[in-house]
Amino acid sequence: MRSITLRHAWLAAASLALVMLAATAAQGAVTVRKIAYKGWPDCYQISNGTVKLIVTADVGPRVIFYGFENGPNEFHEWPNQLGKRGGDTYRNYGGHRLWVAPENKRTYFPDNVPVKVVETHRRGHLVVRFIAPEELRPYPTYLQKEIDIELAPTGTHVYVHQIITNRGTRAQTLAPWSISQMARDGHAVFPFPPKAPWGPKHFQPVIPLALWSYTDFSDPRWTLGQKFLELQQERDPAGKYKQQKIGLFDAAGWGAYYNRHHLFVVRVDVHKGANYPDFGCNFETYTEPRFLEFETLGPTVDLQPGKSVHHDEQWWLFNDVPGGKGDAWAERVVVPRVRRTRW
């Protein structure tokens, strides 16, 4: 009798464990798995069954992949650089990276060495931290960069925590600058502020637009509407300049990239009145025949020794999104999905 009772108890416990496991699977759960990816033996795949991210630990860190399970990479990859490690030359690699503004030699520090990986929890969610060493060779910037990935248990939401720490002995003036190199053939969308007629309440400008020497609004890749700004990525652009770029202060704090019936949405916190770089820009976008860069910036700070500055992005990904361009399409297709992007 005792053996039968124990057997029944064991079966009941096993059944309960299976029920709990099934419930967890139904609710969604984040898994982290060390994998090899395109020549890098030390990468980490973070997945919840809907989307996955792959982050390099051999170099970077770079979020080299973000996309739906069994779907394409939303990010661009440089085939001739994948799997490479070491050396004193800066490489693009592709994916998402953390930089510092203004753009100069310090920006292009070669992140070609391994990073530390730590799993922790924040707000009850799993967070995977990718911590680069202090930047000392081939030339010292004395900065240390960190990218922390927090994937929601269900859906597509990713919280990207980014930290830059000054490990040197002198203050440094900089702004955090994060860049996602997007796959070809899509287009970026940014909202303009609401319009209003001329009058005493509207004497002052509402946002800056930063232009580069090669910015050319006669280029057909640009779509400037009343409510939205759009930039198309093309493999063989017809304009005078192969590169195009613009910066703006986006008070709404969001931008999007449409490609292959997917919509990638990025949100950042907006610090009104802060000193943003490039004449006050918190969003920028750049394109050339291989990719489009989707860029966000934090305010400029005087970073004291031992202190850190944070710059966080939040990502969402939507599928089965109807294609199109222009204000009417953005209002009908993009805006309703952006309104759903809340933590």
The 3-class SS string of 75-111 reads ECECCCCCCCCCCCCCCCCECEEEEEECCCCCCCCCC
The pLDDT of residue 316: 98
The pLDDT of residue 5: 42
Cis preceding-peptide flag for 200 (omega within 30 of 0): no
The pLDDT of residue 27: 41
Identify the three-state secondary structure at position 301. strand
Token readout for 123 is 């707000």
How far is it, in rounded angstroms, from Cα 323 to Cα 88?
42
Closest C-alpha among 72, 73, 339, 321 to residue 180: 73
Q: What's the residue count for the chain?
A: 343
Q: Is 183 left (phi over 0), alpha (psi -120 to 50) or beta?
A: beta
How far is it, in rounded angstroms, from Cα 86 to Cα 114?
9
In Å, what is the CA distance from 282 to each residue of 2, 144, 171?
70, 22, 23
How far is it, in rounded angstroms, from Cα 147 to Cα 231?
27
Cis preceding-peptide flag for 176 (omega within 30 of 0): no
The pLDDT of residue 343: 59
Token readout for 304 is 């004291």
Tell me the CATH number at 97: 2.70.98.10
Find out whether 233 and 185 touch, Cβ atoms under 8 Å: yes
Question: Does residue 111 lie within any of the structural domains?
Answer: yes
Structural domain total, the chain: 1
Question: Does residue 49 lie within any of the structural domains?
Answer: yes
Helices (H), the chain: 2-27, 277-280, 326-329, 335-338
Cis preceding-peptide flag for 102 (omega within 30 of 0): yes
Q: Residue 50, exposed/middle/buried by CB under 10 A (0-12, 13-18, 19+)?
A: middle
Tokens 């203050």, located at residue: 171
Q: What is the DSSP letter of 59?
A: S
Rg for the chain, CA atoms, rounded: 22
Q: In which domain, by residue range, is 59 found?
A: 33-338
pLDDT along the chain (343 residues), means of 10: 40 36 51 98 98 98 98 98 97 98 97 98 94 98 98 97 98 98 98 95 94 98 98 97 98 97 98 96 98 98 98 98 98 98 77
Closest C-alpha among 225, 222, 229, 220 to residue 254: 229
Question: Does residue 42 lie within any of the structural domains?
Answer: yes
Question: Does residue 23 lie within any of the structural domains?
Answer: no
Question: Does residue 17 lie within any of the structural domains?
Answer: no
Q: Are strands 222-224 and 228-232 parallel, antiparallel or unpaired?
A: antiparallel
Question: Does residue 231 lie within any of the structural domains?
Answer: yes
Find out whether 316 and 303 touch, Cβ atoms under 8 Å: no
Find out whether 282 and 210 touch, Cβ atoms under 8 Å: no
Find out whether 154 and 80 touch, Cβ atoms under 8 Å: no
Find out whether 145 and 164 touch, Cβ atoms under 8 Å: yes
The pLDDT of residue 124: 87
Question: Does residue 156 lie within any of the structural domains?
Answer: yes
